[in-house]
Amino acid sequence: MSEKMTPIDGDSQKKRVCYFFDSDIGGFHYGPGHPMKPTRIRMCHSLVMNYGLYKKMEIFRAKPATKREMTQFHSDEYVEFLARITPSNMNSYVKEQHKYNVGDDCPVFDGLFEYCSISAGGSMEGAARLSRDKCDIAVNWAGGLHHAKKSEASGFCYVNDIVLGILELLRYHNRVLYIDIDVHHGDGVEEAFYTTDRVMTVSFHKYGEYFPGTGELRDVGVMKGKYYALNFPLRDGISDENYKSVFEPVIQNVMETYDPSAIVLQCGTDSLSGDKLGCLNLSMRGHANCVKFVKSFNKPLLLLGGGGYTMRNVSRAWAYETGLAAGVELGPEIPVNEYYEYFGPDYELDVKSSNTDDLNTPAYLDRVKRIVLENLRHSGGPPGVQMTDIPTMPIDAQMDDPNEDEDLINPNERRPMRLLDSRRQADGELSDSDDEGEGGRRDHATYRNGDSDGLNGTHKFGIGGGILSSGAAHTHGAGPSGHTTVVRMLSSTVDMEVDTPSTESGANGTSDAAPPTAPPASSASEGEAKSGAPAAESTVPLGDKPAPVVPEPKDEKMEVDSTNAP
């Protein structure tokens, strides 16, 4: 095995890992001086590829989420606004920008909607592949944007890919656990599921005079969701040892009490030492220990990104945690890659803790941990959810007549999986303007070109209230610390009856980010893609039971193009 990575001792059970990356993500720019830099995702991917991790997992380029898929959580008007606004026409939407909190922390930039679509598409596809047992761990570092609300942008986040991914998981899993280790409270996800027991949210975050001002210890949920929201407020400078002393026992008790069938872990790296906006003191290995511990429960796991504003440290941590997901530990020497100069002067894969004071005393942590575990005990154990057996294969495959003539099938009806699997489309057979597959979702090139309305304007980022401002920001979260009424909070939660058409999972296109020596993935398809069918619509009562409708993700694996490095 290459010296760049070594197997992890005691990690004998190999995990099937699906890793989602879209090379377009690094081309978006929030604006001059803005701390959120999507280039960090491309830097992480460069490390992943040059360490050779592509040999240990499948790499996919997810289809961007459509407006209809986004409206499973977000309001129609808000999604339409995101799709319409551009730097060149933003002066015509001054009222809407104020209404949807777009303009300061969340600026309008070229390709805004496409950026949101890529982020959400990866999380939804990852969730769909987990649900179909196509992988054990799905990774989307472009996701994890946990501040976005139903009809409001917040904290650099426009579309809440986490909520959309959890909704996809809820179609198959009776209970989903969400864990957030970002330095900021995961207010958008907590608020979305504040009234249901189908999702338990657990957030470890800095609390006090700090954005978003929510996540107080007493915020535990309401109605059916009471005691299914757990918050562990932290003080500045927490060390690896103290973080581990509270994270592991809390999550261990949550797993024993709640017994989720799937886990979503938001791995915001602004909790690392030295982050430009963070105030904690975790090392890379202290942060990665959370991933290793959650992985040890052997549950379907969706790993997502999040905050992180010191790019060289963000990419280091996420690359290292990708290796942990794949069952290997990456070597200390960073291989030569496109962004090699960013990692000087030591060029090592490590983020060390600093000598800052840890204000989290043992007495404080013990008291908070005791209250959190007491809140957990009040939940009363796993909620009973009536579930219907999910077929081992798509329903239409069970009812398919193998002798049926395809030419006689009503053109307005979906083709059986047998016929879809037998179809092949050669490269160049269809132009970018043609619809792809049965679902009507366009290919990526069409999506990219068709939704750009001459985006050639620029936007000067101005720092206002919010995640960048000092002190407690205006709050939009649920619960007492959010200073919001229950009426307002309920208006932003996920509707109890949610229309959840399946994510059309699969990969399309080829990776342009392989290292120069990387061989192509052995099972990648050469110049052909399998057609997919749109999944049937279903209604999912979050407080009752999910509809047993099986999505039909496509199994196209991204080719690793060894001639085009990132």
pLDDT of residue 507: 41
What is the chain's mean pLDDT, rounded?
A: 80
- Model pLDDT, residue 9: 74
Least-confidence region, from 14-23, 32-41, 116-125, 538-547: 538-547
| pTM of structure | 0.73
Residue 410, pLDDT above cutoff 50:
yes
Cα(95)–Cα(93) distance, rounded to whole angstroms? 6
pLDDT on residue 519:
44
> Is the bond preceding residue 212 a cis peptide, omega within 30 degrees?
yes
Q: Whole-angstrom Cα distance, residue 70 to residue 61?
A: 18
Q: How far is CA 18 from CA 57, 182, 505, 558, in A?
A: 6, 22, 12, 11
Looking at the annotation, which residues are catalytic?
147
pLDDT higher than 70, residue 270: yes
Q: How far is Cα 174 from Cα 428, in angstroms, rounded to an integer?
A: 43
In angstroms, the Cα distances linking 237 to 134, 140, 360, 425 are: 40, 28, 7, 55
pLDDT (mean) for 127-146: 98
CB neighbour list of residue 387: distance below 8 Å, 6 or more residues apart: 174, 545, 546, 548
pLDDT tens-digit series, residues 8-41: 876 656 899 999 999 999 999 999 999 999 999 9
CA distance 565 to 337: 9
Q: What is the pLDDT of residue 23?
A: 96
Q: What is the pLDDT of residue 435?
A: 39
- What are 138's strand-pairing partners? 18, 302
DSSP output for 205-263 = EE-SSSTT----TT----GGGTT-EEEEEE-TT--HHHHHHHHHHHHHHHHHHH--SEE
Which segments of 100-186 does DSSP mark as H helices, in order? 112-131, 161-170
Distance CA 312, CA 353 (A): 15
Q: What is the assigned CATH class of domain 5-383+458-499? A: alpha beta
* pLDDT(413) > 90: no
Cβ contact 265:139 at 8 Å: no
For 156-167, how does the pLDDT look when each residue is reduced to its tens digit (9 = 90+)? 999 999 999 999
Q: What is the pLDDT of residues 480-501, one digit of tens each?
A: 344 333 333 444 455 544 444 4
Neighbours of 416 (CB within 10 A): 21
- Separation between Cα atoms, residue 502 and residue 172, nearest integer Å: 11
**What's residue 8's pLDDT?**
85
Mean pLDDT, rounded, for 50-79: 98
Side chain identity, residue 241: E
DSSP string, 356-372: ------HHHHHHHHHHH
